[in-house]
Amino acid sequence: MKFEDVKKNIKLIKEQRMEFINNFDNKYENVQKSLIQAKNNNYLNTIRIHKYLTDNKKIGKVKTARFLQEIGLDENTKILDLNSSLIEKIANYSDKE
C-alpha cells in the first residue's frame, strides 16, 4: 500500500469516527443500536464511551463520569469493553438526560 493510500485510509477512518460521534442521539433505541454496531466495528470500537456521550454537549461531562463510575467504568473505557448489560445501562442513562 502506498503512503498516499495510507493517508487516505486514515482520513476516511477519522471522518467515520467523527460522524459516529457527531450523530449521537441520546434516545434509548439509538444509543443501544449505535453501541452494538460500533462494538463490532474495528474503527469505532476504540472510541471512549465518555467522549461518545459528551462530545456534542447534550450530556454533561461530570455527571457522565460519575455515572460511569457507578457502573464500574471510567472515562477511559472504550466501546469494545462494553457488554450487553452495560450497553443497556448506558442507553437508559442517556435517554434520561
Q: What is the CATH number of domain 3-96?
A: 1.10.8.50
Residue 64 burial by Cβ neighbours in a 10 Å radius (0-12, 13-18, 19+): buried
Cα-to-chain-centroid distance, residue 35:
7
User: In the prediction, which pLDDT does 1 show?
Assistant: 76
Provide mean pLDDT across the span 33-61.
96
Q: How far apart are CA 53 and CA 21, in angstroms?
A: 8
Residues 51-93: tens digit of each pLDDT = 999 999 999 999 999 999 999 999 999 999 999 999 999 999 9
Across all residues in the chain, what is the average pLDDT? Answer: 96
For the chain, the domains span 3-96
What nine digits make up the cell of 47?
472510541
